[in-house]
Amino acid sequence: MNQIVLFSICFVGIFFSYLIFGLIQESMQTRSYKNGEKYNFMLTLVFGQSLTSYICGYLICQHYKLWGNPPPLRYNLGCSCCYFSAMLASNYALKWVSYPTQVIGKSCKPIPIIILTAILARKGESLKRWLAVSCIVVGVVTFNLFKPGKSLDYSLSVGDVLILVSLLFDGLTASFQEIIRGKYQTNSYLMMYELNKWAVVILFPFILFGEGFAVVQFVLKNPEVIFMILAFSFTSAIGQNFIFLTISNFGPLSLSLITTLRKFFTVLGSILVFGHVLTNYQKLSVVVVFTGILLDTWVKSSKK
């Protein structure tokens, strides 16, 4: 397949799958259902997301014979636990913060990745990258300080803390992945399969003996939730597939550029669809954050 055509397919696949994913996520978790209930079953949501991605990873590995030699169990388990913990924390955060706040906050992901990969994977970063990341931090702090109706006497909410927890687990996930790639040369699709397989295995007992019965009752009263969960899970799996396809054919730089644009338009879509109000300072901070992300991408590309 022509590389330009393949890149266009990857771009469209990532852009629209995660744009739809974000809109479904916000709609499902912020709307009121019958009797004023909210959807609060994040374990089930992440389980469905992981199960769909696991099936997708299995089918790809089986079709293209990408099994190879998986890394030791301790790395797979550690990586998987950090992976789904990051998703759980960011999903729970939406109970206290808006979706644009969550996306902007998660843009600080390079910070824990740089720190934890330096400590755990023994991989350092340049001063230029630290400056680019500082730009992101300034934008995120400004965005949170100048929320509509808030004074500058800012204190962390539960949602902000959960975003920080999610960022910590993102950094740990990246560190595990760096070790797995460096020591065992595991391909991206096998990593996708192993990551989600263990997430499914670990989360299933919590669903079965925990919130499973409550989820069934909620779905019986609100059957439209089934479609939303399925759409949420499938768009996530499709997005993951295009992410790994992009990394395999065009490298992490191209992926960074695509995901940066995707995040920007996801924030824009959330504002337009759900009517979030941003102050002028927050609008400026969004520009600063994405400028920092683009600078970070440029630094990584120049280093290569």
Write the burial class of residue 132 (CB in 10 Å: 0-12 exposed, 13-18 middle, 19+ buried): buried
Between 91 and 185, the more confident residue is 91
What confidence tens digit (pLDDT) does each residue in 8-41 have?
899 899 989 998 998 899 899 888 998 889 999 9
The whole-number pLDDT of residue 45 equals: 94
Q: How far is CA 78 from CA 26, 70, 82, 178, in A?
A: 29, 14, 6, 13
Q: What is the mean pLDDT of residues 68-88?
A: 92
Identify the residue with better confidence: 152 or 65: 65
The secondary structure of residue 209, as a DSSP letter, is I
Contact of 14 with 246, CB cutoff 8 Å:
yes
pLDDT at site 217: 94
Q: Does residue 253 surpass a pLDDT of 70?
A: no
3-state secondary structure of 34: helix
pLDDT at 242 over 80: yes
pLDDT in tens, 104-120: 888 887 788 778 877 87
What residues contact residue 5 under an 8 Å CB cut-off, 6+ apart? none
Check residue 207 and give its pLDDT.
94
Mean pLDDT taken over the chain: 86
Measure the CA–CA gap between 217 and 223, rounded to whole angstroms: 10
Q: What is the pLDDT of residue 155?
A: 61
Mean pLDDT of 297-303: 72
Q: What is the pLDDT of residue 151?
A: 52
Q: Identify the pLDDT of residue 276.
A: 85
User: Which pair of tokens denotes residue 294?
Assistant: 């683009």
Most confident of the ranges 139-143, 145-149, 151-155: 139-143
Cα separation, 246 vs 240, whole angstroms: 10
pLDDT of residue 121: 66
Question: What pLDDT shows up at residue 56?
Answer: 93
User: Which tokens hold the place of 287?
Assistant: 């520009």
| Arithmetic mean of pLDDT, 127-150 | 79
Are 196 and 50 spatial neighbours (Cβ–Cβ below 8 Å)?
A: yes
**DSSP codes joined into one string, 230-259:** HHHHHHHHHHHHHHHHHHHHHHHHHHHHHH
Which residues make Cβ contacts (< 8 Å) with residue 239, sequence separation at least 6? 13, 14, 17, 18, 21
* Alpha helices, DSSP H, located in the chain: 3-30, 42-64, 73-93, 99-106, 110-120, 127-145, 158-184, 188-206, 212-221, 224-274, 280-303
Q: Which two tokens stand for residue 1?
A: 């397949």
Radius of gyration from C-alpha coordinates of the chain: 19
The band of 98, judged by pLDDT with boundaries at 50, 70 and 90, is confident
